[in-house]
Amino acid sequence: MKVREVIRLLRADGWTIERTRGSHRKLRHPLKPGKVTVAGRPSETLHPKTLASILRQAGLADGDGK
């Protein structure tokens, strides 16, 4: 999954970009605790473990580790 697609998925769930520094974007949700950082250029493909970590932090992981 590309960085652009992950950001689109998070924004659809209610996350907003709070700040950006270089290629790192910090997103915040009005109801969920914590922040999620997505690093990389929009056209880059995320490593599967990085993607799983981002989804887990955002509360979007399906719970089976995939």
Pick from 22, 52, 54, 49: nearest CA to 38? 54
Instruction: Pinpoint the alpha helices (H) of the chain.
Output: 3-12, 48-58
Structure tokens of 3?
């960085």
What does pLDDT average to over the chain? 93
For residue 65, pLDDT over 70 is answered with: no
* pTM of the predicted model as reported, rounded to 2 decimal places: 0.88
Over 60: is that where the pLDDT of 13 sits? yes
Residues listed for the chain = 66
The domain ranges of the chain are: 3-58
Q: How far apart are CA 4 and CA 15, in angstroms?
A: 14
14: helix, coil or strand?
coil
- The verdict on domain 3-58 having CATH code 3.30.920.30 is yes
